A = this chain, B = another copy of it.
Amino acid sequence: MHVRLTEQRYGKSSIYLTKVTRHQQRHDIKELAIDVALEGDFSESYVRGANHQVVATDTMKNTVFALAAEHPLEDAESFVLVLAGHFLDRIPHVTVASVTAAESPWQRIDTAAGPHANAFIGGTSERRTCSVRCTRDKTVVKGGIAGLALLKTTNSAFRGFRRDEFTTLAETDDRIFATQVNAEWTYYPKAVEWNTARETIRDRMVAVFADHMSLSVQQTLFAMGEAAMKACPSIAAIHLEMPNRHRLPINLELLGKENRNEIFVATCAPYGLITATLERENA
């Protein structure tokens, strides 16, 4: 019997990079968790323990910090492109360089005189993500949002679904709809204003969530993705994942009270998970 190495890929994950840019009037801060992964002719290290082709993952980490010193880091997308390019340019036996970044946003603290010049508030679960996967022939850039917590207290129904002997769920015209949106979109291969594109997509998705008369999580997810694609012509596709973070109405009749659709319990598990990918049609 023989065993063959059919895929291999390695790198450094969770490189926490903080960059402060000190402008005259204000400071900017960017905090990214960066993952680097390389593919290529590394099989000797797996099969024989021969490391001469191996870039130490510690070197990948150092590279992130060294290149960050020279890059303006106004957007994460152009920085991960630089990183991936660096590894492909320098190391002939690398065939694929993948770099992802997840940004933890910091907002300026509000003051009477406007946004503070150098003090920030953070702690949101939302991450601004991006990733590149580069070969010498092709570059794919993706943007994304992870962990965006949204909730609406009305305009969400779920009726008319299939029933069988194991169906006990009641139909409802008016439920709480709570989710944590994970979205990832794929850019066309051309110049993009990355931060503008992201803000446009995020704003549209949030606005559609808020105003949509939802007949199902599926329908709202599709409407959000469709609106994002309409608003941002730079993207070719979008993938959405929306868990249904159930708020279940409490049966208060057992306790001698009436529940006027006001009292709910948030459950951790199980949860619905709705996903879809939307693509632009070639008209």
A→B interface (CB under 8 Å): 1-22, 27, 29, 31, 33, 35, 37, 42, 45-59, 61-63, 65-66, 68-70, 90-91, 106, 109, 111, 116, 118-126, 147-155, 158-169, 176, 180, 206-207, 209-211, 214-219, 221-222, 225-226, 229-230, 237, 239, 243-244, 247, 250, 252, 254-281, 283
Q: Which residue of B lies closest to A219 (CB)?
A: B49
Q: Are A255 and B56 in contact (CB under 8 A)?
A: no
Q: Which residue of B lies closest to A225 (CB)?
A: B3
Taken together as a complex, chains A and B put the C-alpha atoms of A283 and B7 apart, in Å, by: 19
What is the CB-to-nearest-CB distance from A9 to chain B, in angstroms, rounded to a whole number?
Answer: 5
Q: A33-B269, A59-B169, A65-B252 are in contact. List 18 more A-B contacts (CB 8 A).
A: A1-B280, A7-B239, A8-B218, A9-B275, A13-B272, A16-B270, A18-B263, A46-B276, A48-B219, A52-B161, A63-B166, A65-B250, A119-B211, A120-B151, A120-B152, A121-B151, A123-B125, A123-B180
Q: Are B37 and A273 in contact (CB under 8 A)?
A: yes
What is the CB-to-nearest-CB distance from A82 to chain B, in angstroms, rounded to a whole number?
Answer: 14
Enumerate chain B residues within 8 angstroms of A151, measured Cβ to Cβ: 29, 106, 119-122
Taken together as a complex, chains A and B put the C-alpha atoms of A268 and B16 apart, in Å, by: 10
